[in-house]
C-alpha cells in the first residue's frame, strides 16, 4: 500500500507513521525516500520482519524512529482489549454470535 509511488506524493515536511502492519509499507522505498530527505521523517511501530535485523539500513537513519510494536501498550487500550475479549468469550460460551469477531467468514 505504501510504496515508492505513494511516498513520492508526500510533501517534504511529511512524517510517515506506521502502526498498522509492517507489510503495508515498502521499507526499501521508505529507506530511499528518507535517505534522500524527500520526506521529513518516519516513525514505525511495526516492521517486516519484526524485529528488524540489526544490519537493516533503516536503523542507521537519523530521521527514522523504530519502536518495538508498543502502540497499544496503554492501560486504557489493554483494558479495552480485555473487555472485548471477555465479551467474545461470554458470547461463545452461550452459543451466541461473537460481538467482536475478526474473521466473519466463520458465520458464512
Catalytic residues: 21, 50, 69
42 burial type by CB count under 10 A (0-12 exposed, 13-18 middle, 19+ buried): buried
C-alpha to C-alpha distance for 61 and 41, rounded to whole angstroms? 9
Torsion of CA 67, 72, 78, 79, to 10 degrees: 140
Q: 31 by DSSP, 3-state: which?
A: helix
Amino acid at each position: 500500500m505504501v510504496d515508492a509511488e505513494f511516498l513520492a506524493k508526500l510533501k517534504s515536511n511529511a512524517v510517515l507513521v506506521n502502526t498498522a502492519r509492517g507489510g503495508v509499507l515498502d521499507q526499501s522505498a521508505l529507506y530511499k525516500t528518507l535517505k534522500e530527505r524527500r520526506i521529513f521523517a518516519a516513525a514505525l511501530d511495526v516492521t517486516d520482519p519484526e524485529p528488524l535485523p540489526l544490519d537493516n539500513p533503516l536503523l542507521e537513519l537519523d530521521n527514522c524512529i523504530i519502536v518495538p510494536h508498543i502502540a497499544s501498550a496503554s492501560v486504557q487500550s489493554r483494558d479495552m482489549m480485555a473487555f472485548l475479549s471477555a465479551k467474545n468469550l461470554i458470547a461463545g460460551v452461550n452459543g451466541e454470535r461473537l460481538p467482536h469477531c475478526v474473521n466473519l467468514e466463520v458465520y458464512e
